[in-house]
């Protein structure tokens, strides 16, 4: 049986909109208007790398101190946005899918760039599904670097090629491929993430028992 590695934002919960709102407010501090199209490029990458991109786009330079202060401000804004998150906020179909995979004996890991992943999973009451949690606190390199997924496989005690990643971002699918893992894209079907298995719009689009065949090893 293969193992499953889930991304968080955009796969388990729609916190992407809260990241966007928080980054928009940070960008306004230096009179820059962050667009939704640009925000797509911030999905799946670390807080630090997101701010560096924002500064590049807006042509701004900051001292280390100012940079770190803005990172802290962004996180405060984000934490405020997610303070009322509850288990009703998990994305449609994800509970049923996690339940099914767990009962089928599939090991489950989280592979997220977020440093807030445990807070979010607790708020959603989903943390107990995960055998392993690897997030932004555990890695030096953010997606598309495969570090987060490689560490996930190591912590699960399985080879990388025996993991299937669920991802909503371009950076995340690239990271899965670089880790030699198969990937299923969760996205608006207009934006093909080019995963190795297929794209689905949401977990409602596939019955969990139809996912099972991908987890069978063909040896
Ligand atoms: P934090 P994922 C990523 O999570 C988000 O997609 C990305 O927008 C965010 O900047 C990053 O986490 C860091 O999050 O500020 O909470 O540490 O998609 O990899 O689960
Ligand atoms: Mg994501």
CATH code, domain carrying 34: 1.10.150.240
Q: Which two tokens stand for residue 43?
A: 């999905």
Lowest mean pLDDT among 61-65, 104-108, 177-181, 187-191: 187-191
Q: Which helix (H) or strand (E) holds 71?
A: helix 64-81
179 and 201 inside one domain: yes
Q: Are residues 7 and 47 in the same domain?
A: no
Q: Which of 66-75, 90-99, 159-168, 189-198 has the lowest mean pLDDT?
A: 189-198
The answer to whether residues 96 and 71 belong to one domain is no
pLDDT grade for 219, boundaries at 50, 70 and 90: low
Q: What percent of the chain has pLDDT over 70?
A: 99
Residues 55 and 161 in one domain: no
* Residue 199 lies in domain: 3-13+86-215
My answer on whether 74 and 91 are in the same domain is no
Residue of 114, 144, 145 best suited for mutating to test ligand 1, as the one with most atoms within 8 Å of CB: 114
Q: Is the pLDDT of residue 136 over 60?
A: yes
Q: Which atom of ligand 1 is nearest to the CA of 113?
A: 19
Cα dihedral 98→162→185→142 (10° resolution): 100
Sign of CA dihedral 211, 96, 45, 35: positive
Average pLDDT of the chain?
95
- Dihedral sign for Cα atoms in the order 192, 145, 154, 124: negative
* Residues lining ligand 1, Cβ inside 6 A: 7-10, 16, 19, 42-47, 50, 75, 78, 112-116, 136, 169
Find residue 200's DSSP bridge partners.
Answer: 186
| Residues 29, 8 within the same domain | no
pLDDT for 21-35, tens place per residue?
Answer: 999 999 999 899 999
Residue 144 has pLDDT above 60, yes or no: yes
């Amino acid at each position: 049986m293969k193992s499953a590695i889930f991304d968080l934002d955009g796969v388990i919960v729609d916190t992407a909109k809260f990241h966007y709102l928080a980054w928009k407010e940070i960008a306004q501090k230096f009179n820059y208007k962050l667009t939704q199209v640009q925000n797509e490029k911030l999905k799946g990458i670390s807080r630090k790398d997101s701010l560096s991109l924002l500064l590049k786009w807006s042509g701004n330079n900051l001292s280390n101190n100012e940079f770190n202060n803005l990172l802290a401000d962004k996180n405060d804004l984000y934490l405020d946005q997610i303070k009322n998150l509850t288990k009703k906020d998990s994305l449609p179909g994800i509970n049923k899918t996690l339940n099914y995979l767990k009962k089928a004996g599939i090991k489950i890991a989280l592979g997220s760039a977020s440093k807030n992943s445990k807070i979010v999973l607790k708020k959603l009451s989903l943390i107990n599904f995960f055998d392993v949690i690897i997030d932004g606190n555990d890695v030096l390199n953010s997606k598309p670097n495969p570090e987060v997924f490689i560490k996930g496989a190591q912590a699960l005690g399985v080879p990388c090629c025996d993991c299937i990643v669920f991802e909503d971002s371009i950076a995340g699918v690239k990271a899965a491929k670089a880790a030699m893992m198969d990937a299923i894209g969760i996205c608006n079907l207009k934006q093909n993430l080019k995963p190795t298995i297929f794209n689905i719009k949401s977990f409602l689009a596939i019955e969990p028992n139809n996912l099972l065949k991908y987890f069978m090893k063909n040896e």
